[in-house]
Amino acid sequence: MTEMNINHFLSDESEFNNEDSSSKKAPLKPIPKIINGRYKIKRVLGVGGMGIVYQVDDLLLKSIGLEQYEFAIKVLNSESAEFNDADLLLVNEYLQANQLQHPNIVPIQHLALCEESQRGFLVMPMIKGELLSLLLDSPFEDIPDEARLKYAFILINCLLHCHKRGVIHGDLKPSNILISNNNELHLFDFSISRNIDPDKNNFAINFNQVHAWSGDYAAPEVLQGNAPTIKSDLYSLSILLYKLLLRTHPYQQKENTVETRTKEQQKIHKLLLQAMGPVPAERHLNFKVLISVFKEIKNKQNTEKKKPLLQKVTSVFSRH
């Protein structure tokens, strides 16, 4: 087996980070159905702005009788992979994600190179579930209020963990969040994440070439090609929480929506708006106050659960 080092992920002429470069690699070789004689592709799990995620069977683990042989692998899509040194995005994701240890952040277990296609790939645990983006926008799914509150709390906890470890996620949005079959939230996709300490960003990324962001969730400065920051993460988090807890995008709601909300919902509205300003330095989010509002809502939910059915029906009619 050939000894591997970072040079296997570098092109002969580094041009991925060159602002003026339109140089492309030679035509991409397709990913084989069985990668390196070990990972057998079963199906596509998802396609994002920069990557494709496949469900695979680890044939080695399967052959020795282990039950946990299903994994997910990520490769760059054809558009992203065309640029020289594009695989460094995968290297960056591996380095940044491995600074984190949180039960609700998807870990990256392995970084490797496909011998046949000479394309890099990441190996991650296989988590069965649905993307939050599908659950939020589906007319056939309705996330219960209790679950929305739980997901919001976990999401805040995930981001605070990232920032405490010095990692800026950079691309918070519902399609980068998985809700597992046992109703747990999992944050993933650190491909364009950065470290708060510039010295720990081993590889430069030309953000003008990044096409992963969603205009509905990315901060204005990020959409203009600037590197993500803690303040841009805060912006994206606030819009995500708004959509999750108040069931609408803050910039796409009807004029009279705010007036019909409960006292707690109005508090959430005001708190989250403080983190959505166009000027990064003016964005603030008081997590302590926000969590206290969550507790108020949770207490109300618990009280409502204890009410007899007849009293619940009576209270519904009394409000109309």
Binding-site residue positions for ATP: 74
Look-up of token digits 């944050």:
187
Binding site: residue ranges? Answer: 74
Residue 245: C-alpha distances to residues 20, 27, 182, 293, 319 (Å): 43, 45, 20, 12, 22
What are the distances in angstroms from CA 192 to CA 111, 142, 195, 204, 222?
A: 16, 31, 10, 10, 11
The token pair that represents 230 in the structure block: 């803690």
Angle separating helix axes 145-164 and 287-306, nearest 10 degrees: 160
Give the C-alpha separation, 301 to 283, whole Å: 31
Cβ–Cβ contacts within 10 Å for residue 58, how many? 18
